[in-house]
Amino acid sequence: MNALLEPVAEKRHPNLLLHCGAHSVEREQVLDVSTPEATETWTPIPHGELIRTVETALHASNLIIGGTAHSLSHDGARYFGLMEISSEVDAEDYCWVLGLRNSHDKTFPAGVTAGAQVFVCDNLSFSGEVKLARRHTRFISRDMPLLVERAIGRLLGTWHDQGIRFEAYKGHEIEDRAAHDLIIRAVDVGICSNRMIPDVLAAWRQPAHGEFEARTVWSLFNSFTEALKQGNLAELLKRTEALHGLLDGHVGLGGKFSQN
């Protein structure tokens, strides 16, 4: 089988079930989902078409697909997927992840966004610098390959930037008072709700992993993403983009990374 379609065996599978709350399925089950007929104003595409388009673009960019995870909800009308991506430049404690989504019920457009997965805890975050969304209108099948190729190109361009961001988080120490202030500010900007505050505080005060015992912005970042695991993938996309904006400003990176 073509290596493009076969995940690398030694790669781990993203913990998709925790992050989107939908039913985890195999790739073949996604490909078997029937696509509704198009109308004059709405042209849905098969979930599998989005998957194959992304795989083709990654292969053309010499990127390797590692673990993959797929999920369906609403009787197959909504698809969410994750793909671990690796290149010649890999971090030791996190990897790039592409998030894919598509709908057959007009809920949201076909889309791709890039983020990162922290190995030790399976925490996901999406930075917002690389994303695309294409409405289900006429010529979507024609336009998607080029849009995906452009998104993958931006991914390659921001790979180094994400490393700068995470190193800045790791190198910036933070006291409890400042951490508590950021947690409240996170509620104000919609990163988390009031009911999530105890979960974020618990993860901050008693980290489940030794890697986060240091009192740094990296530890606080993972306290947030640990608490955000229980939300669905659509919420995670918006919330972690806002989280990066908040923490980037705190460590002096505000405005360094563009939001497309």
Whole-number pLDDT of residue 210: 95
- The rounded distance, in Å, linking the Cα atoms of 220 and 176 is 10
How many CB atoms within 10 Å of residue 32?
Answer: 13
101, pLDDT greater than 70: yes
- The token pair at 128 is 């917002």
- Mean per-residue pLDDT, 155-177: 91
Q: How confident is the model at residue 143 (pLDDT cuts 50, 70, 90)?
A: very high
Query: Tokens 């990897």 label which residue?
Result: 95
- The rounded distance, in Å, linking the Cα atoms of 84 and 77 is 24
| pTM, 2 dp | 0.85
Lowest mean per-residue pLDDT among 9-13, 171-175, 209-213: 9-13
Whole-number pLDDT of residue 150: 92
Whole-number pLDDT of residue 15: 61
10, pLDDT greater than 50: no
Residue that wins the pLDDT comparison between 9 and 139: 139
Q: Which residues of 80-115 are buried (b: 16+ CB within 10 A; e: fewer)?
A: bbbbbbeeeeebeebbbbbbbbbbbeeeeebbbbbb
Starting at the earlier edge strand, list the strands of the sheet with 64-73. Answer: 23-25, 64-73, 78-86, 94-103, 110-118, 123-134
Q: How confident is the model at residue 89 (pLDDT cuts 50, 70, 90)?
A: low
- Mean per-residue pLDDT, 52-78: 93
7, pLDDT greater than 50: no
- Mean per-residue pLDDT, 209-227: 97
Q: Write the pLDDT tens digit of every residue in 232-244.
A: 777 888 899 999 9
- Mean per-residue pLDDT, 50-62: 95
Lowest mean per-residue pLDDT among 11-25, 83-97, 136-150, 228-242: 11-25
Whole-number pLDDT of residue 8: 40
CA 90 centroid distance within chain: 17
Whole-number pLDDT of residue 86: 85
Q: How confident is the model at residue 207 (pLDDT cuts 50, 70, 90)?
A: very high
Whole-number pLDDT of residue 19: 58
Q: How confident is the model at residue 254 (pLDDT cuts 50, 70, 90)?
A: confident
147, pLDDT greater than 70: yes
111, pLDDT greater than 70: yes
Whole-number pLDDT of residue 60: 93
